[in-house]
Structure 1
């Protein structure tokens, strides 16, 4: 399957009236308040926001690892907590530091989710894991290595292979290029872009890295004031008047990224036509 960037389809994830409240010794801490967000099939949506705005928490709620205090999260029409083990394969997750099992070798790490289903013969599982290993750009000779023997970039690729082992339509990425040098980050972005196109993935990504943000996103959602204040193309988002957006996008690094936007090196699906109407700030 080949996906054409910008051709986002029907809603895959719908979040409505979401509240996240944590109890602390100093009282309730509200992270999200009446947060609304729609994620459409085939897009690469990046979540940005300041520290404490609950970006990773939101990923975990989409995955079903955490539950909102109020409101609903729907993935393919169902709450993540209602998924059976087989249906949970609809969502793959790449954690920030890989989260590989140190006692398993590379191939066993990749195969782990498939083995947990206990429905396929081991030979077939190993073959599937080897396919995914090569899909993320790693040679089969690395299959028997332990995570301790891998570079940071290789760990991320193995973790990505594991996230894709069940062929999920939805992939969640938490700081996918964190800890990588510029060359490694560029290579990983190239890999993600290629997989997105070839597999038709829907991707939700949390990143602080502006280069990664502009390189991969087809849409950006900004978390501030306990909710999504704006979601749209880079032009839409940067035009929205808010102190965080001004500081984040128009600081030193933001200005360099903006230069890429203006010189046309940012994908048109992210930049949007110059005459586009501003994105709706109401995600309902």
Structure 2
């Protein structure tokens, strides 16, 4: 099943005929084969798939940290590897464990991408970092703390502030709620939903958390058999006949997550994936 791109939609990411092959003395491992995917402005697209299907590899290729064996990836009309330092400001990345610099303070972690450009005075960079700190729900009093003094939820928020410091239109999220307790995960989802709406972000997210998946996604793309086998709303994806989809969405965990979603529907905004 192929998601029909509206004719007036702006294509933020285009992936065409992508192959990812890992070479080794024991033989080649093909992870992606003729994979196609289009991501349009303003959506929250979630990538799901079993272990070894190359979800994080695909995210890193969009970011330009890895290169496909063949095929084409374009981000905002450019190959990721060709983006200049300023062009890289078009993409923000939230890594699974935050990837904060342990020797830096919270404020210095957030300010790091701007300082690397060496184009702005330090007081302006500091002000911008403080704005982003408050944007993710943390107070200025947290600015001087070290990452070791932060909870898991706070680390995620600081890492998100750093990803947003250059106001990118595209945000990549690798397991944004991994390691968080349910209350913290719900709070982080609420934060992401608000920022997506207020900043007009396009979001590409990997998650194994079904609650997060159902709560935030406007579209889900399923990786299996070395390609995207289906993309669409939650209902579209669940209706697609494939063993992974049946096990992932219709097993015990999936059923419980959907029940919780329906039970909470009356007390919170309608999830993007159900619109």
TM-score w.r.t. the length of structure 1 is: 0.91
Structure 1 46/123 Cα, relative in aligned 2: closer, same or farther at 3 Å?
same
CA separation in 2, counterparts of 1:25 and 1:36?
29
Show structure 2 runs of 5+ residues with no match: 1-5
Residues 268 and 140 of structure 1: CA distance in aligned 2, closer, same or farther (over 3 Å): closer
After TM superposition, the runs of 4+ consecutive aligned structure 1 residues lying more than 6 A away are none
1:10, distance to aligned residue in structure 2 (A) = 1.2
**Superposition deviation, residue 262 in structure 1:** 5.6
Q: Deviations over 1:60-85 (max 9, x none)?
A: 00000000000000000000001000
Alpha-carbon distance in 2 for matches of 1:130, 1:258: 38
1:271 and 2:266 matched: no
Question: How do 1:165-204 residues align onto structure 2 when only pairs under 5 Å count?
Answer: 165-204=165-204
SS at match of 2:28: strand
Aligned residue number for residue 3 of structure 2: none
Give distance in 2, aligned partners of 1:228 and 1:262: 27
Counterpart of 1:48?
A: 48
Mapping of residues 1-16 of structure 1, within 5 Å: 9-16=9-16
Q: Distance in 2 between matches of 1:163 and 1:17?
A: 29
What is the rounded CA distance, in whole Å, between the counterparts of 1:217 and 1:87 in structure 2?
A: 26
Aligned length: 266
CA drift of 1:203 comes to 0.3
Q: Are residues 50 and 121 of structure 1, via their aligned partners in 2, closer, same or farther at CA, if it must alter by over 3 Å?
A: same
Give the SS at the match of 2:23: strand
Aligned with 1:47: secondary structure? strand
Q: Supply the distance in 1 between the matched residues of 2:199 and 2:100 (Cα, whole angstroms).
A: 23
SS state at 1:155 partner: helix
8 Å CA contact 1:261, 1:271 repeated in 2: no
Would the alpha carbon gap of residues 124 and 96 (structure 1) be closer, same or farther in structure 2, given more than 3 Å must change? same
Q: Secondary structure at the match of 2:197?
A: helix
Instruction: Please say which of residues 21-30 and 162-171 is displaced more in the overlay.
Output: 21-30
Structure 1, gaps ≥5 residues long: 1-5, 273-284
Aligned partners of 1:102 and 1:147 also within 8 Å: yes
Following TM superposition, by how much is the alpha carbon of 1:30 offset from its aligned partner in structure 2, in angstroms? 0.4
In the alignment, the residues of structure 1 paired with residue 104 and residue 264 of structure 2 have an alpha-carbon distance, to the nearest angstrom, of 45
Task: Give me the whole-angstrom Cα distance separating, in 1, the residues matched to 2:271 and 2:94.
Answer: 26
Q: Which residue of 1 aligns with 2:57?
A: 57
Aligned twin of 1:230: 230
- Residue 87 (structure 1) aligned with residue 87 (structure 2): yes
Which structure 2 residues correspond to residues 105-144 of structure 1 after superposition, within 5 A?
105-144=105-144
